[in-house]
């Protein structure tokens, strides 16, 4: 008898979970143009969201909405999204499988970037393998041009929504060092 009851309960619950996942996927449609339907962007200008930490995704959306982070496309787009929708989008994209970006990394720049990352102790926040943790983003498998842009924005004071964590390190990086660090991070 308990087995029949379990089966009956599952027949009631599973369709609602499928509807919930479909609803989350539908909410992501507006994100698809830049970030891909599954969070794997086909453009080098936009970051991959798939496999990113839920906490980081939610915080970034919240920061765009509240003006702590600015972008000509993201800021107005996220302005109409509710907190609940932001949480559901963060949950949806973090659960997607991240696809490795195609990037032909220069081995010499990768080695130089590895040294820079070790000296800056990047893994103390971003974790070994740069997989991210909670509010610290996943950097592995991110797109090279996006990494370069973010590092330059931190260095140049254009991105400041990190509670001051990146500016002290990034402010002293040359364009060449940023390129090397991005080669290293994009090679994972």
Domain residue limits, the chain: 2-94, 107-186
- Are domains 2-94 and 107-186 of this chain identical in fold? yes
| Contact by Cβ (8 Å): 163, 121 | no
Q: What are the Cα distances from residue 10, in Å, to 6, 14, 15, 185?
A: 6, 6, 9, 43
What are residue 136's DSSP bridge partners? Answer: 133
pLDDT at 28 over 90: no
97-101 contact pairs (CB < 8 A, 24+): 97/38, 97/50, 97/51, 98/39, 98/40, 98/48, 98/50, 98/51, 98/52, 98/138, 98/141, 99/40, 99/48, 99/50, 99/141, 100/141, 101/48, 101/141, 101/142, 101/143, 101/144, 101/186
| Band of pLDDT at residue 51, cut at 50, 70 and 90 | very high
Q: Which CATH number fits domain 107-186: 3.40.50.620, 3.40.50.720, 1.10.760.10, 1.50.10.10?
A: 1.10.760.10
Cα–Cα dist 20/163, whole Å:
34
User: What percentage of residues in the chain have a pLDDT greater than 90?
Assistant: 71
pTM confidence score? 0.83
User: Residue 20 has what pLDDT?
Assistant: 45
Number of other residues whose CB lies within 10 A of the CB of residue 10: 11
Domain 2-94 coded CATH 3.40.50.720:
no
């Amino acid at each position: 008898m308990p087995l029949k009851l379990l089966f009956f309960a599952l027949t009631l619950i599973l369709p609602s979970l499928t509807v919930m996942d479909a609803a989350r996927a539908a909410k992501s449609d507006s994100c698809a143009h830049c970030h891909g339907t599954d969070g794997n962007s086909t453009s080098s200008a936009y970051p991959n969201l798939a496999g990113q930490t839920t906490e980081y995704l939610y915080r970034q959306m919240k920061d765009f909405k509240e003006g702590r982070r600015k972008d000509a496309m993201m800021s107005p787009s996220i302005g109409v999204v509710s907190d609940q929708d932001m949480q559901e989008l963060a949950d949806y994209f973090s659960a997607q499988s991240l696809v490795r970006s195609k990037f032909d990394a220069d081995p010499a720049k990768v080695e130089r970037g590895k040294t820079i990352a070790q000296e800056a102790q990047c893994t103390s926040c971003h974790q070994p393998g740069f997989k991210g943790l909670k509010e610290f983003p996943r950097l592995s498998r991110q797109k090279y041009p996006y990494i370069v842009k973010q590092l330059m924005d931190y260095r140049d004071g254009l991105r400041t929504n990190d509670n001051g964590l990146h500016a002290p390190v990034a402010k002293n990086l040359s364009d060449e060092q940023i390129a090397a660090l991005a080669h290293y991070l994009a090679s994972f």
